[in-house]
Amino acid sequence: MRVLVQRVLEAKVRVNGKTVGEIGKGLLLFVGFTDTDTSKEINYLVDKVINLRIFDDENGVMNNSLLNIGGSILSVSQFTLYADTSKGRRPSYVKALNGNDACKLYDEFNQKLSNKGLKIQTGIFGADMKVSLINDGPVTIMLEKEAV
């Protein structure tokens, strides 16, 4: 499982010209799954995301988590996080989990974030989404948990 985390001042996702998810200060998460992912990887990454200390404290040091600042999350599914570009010029997505199973894990991931008391907005799984954001910093971090 991979989660690309971007610290944002604001972010939104649109589908067919309509805003389906929008947040202010918080985290924009691009979320991808591979065929070995389970709830174990989800639990690990939910904990990592909400406790990741990447927000400034009163001294301008990245020492606060999303929980500390009361921020929001915009979660967007993105199978392309598992693109394999090792051969040729066209990415292969054979490492990405199939849509039906990935959708179930994506819903579970978002539900577990919501269960932590956070404000969660999402895109629409499988849709052609237009994402806009103001990256704060910029701060962009790749999180990954492989099944063991």
**Residue 69 has what pLDDT?**
96
DSSP 3-state of 53: coil
Which entry of 19, 36, 38, 80 is annotated as an active-site residue?
80
The stretch 98-106 carries a mean pLDDT of 96
Residues in the chain: 148
Asked if pLDDT for residue 148 goes beyond 80, the answer is no
85 has catalytic annotation: no
Residue 22: exposure state from Cβ atoms within 10 A (0-12, 13-18, ≥19): middle
Question: Taking the domains of the chain in order of start, what are their residue ranges?
Answer: 2-144
30 has catalytic annotation: no
Which entry of 78, 109, 121, 122 is annotated as an active-site residue?
78
Q: Of 125, 146, 138, which is closest to residue 30 (Cα–Cα)? A: 125
Asked if pLDDT for residue 58 goes beyond 90, the answer is yes
Scored b (16 or more CB within 10 A) or e, 113-140 reads beeeebebbbbebeeebebebeebeebe
**Range list of H helices, 1-148:** 39-51, 66-69, 99-115
Its pTM stands at: 0.95
> What is the number of other CB atoms lying within 10 angstroms of the CB of residue 1?
24
The stretch 11-29 carries a mean pLDDT of 98
Which entry of 79, 109, 121, 122 is annotated as an active-site residue?
79
80 has catalytic annotation: yes
**Residue 147 has what pLDDT?**
78
Q: Which two tokens stand for residue 4?
A: 């690309």
From the candidate CATH numbers 3.50.80.10, 3.40.109.10, 1.10.3720.10, 3.40.605.10, the one assigned to the domain spanning 2-144: 3.50.80.10
Asked if pLDDT for residue 146 goes beyond 80, the answer is yes
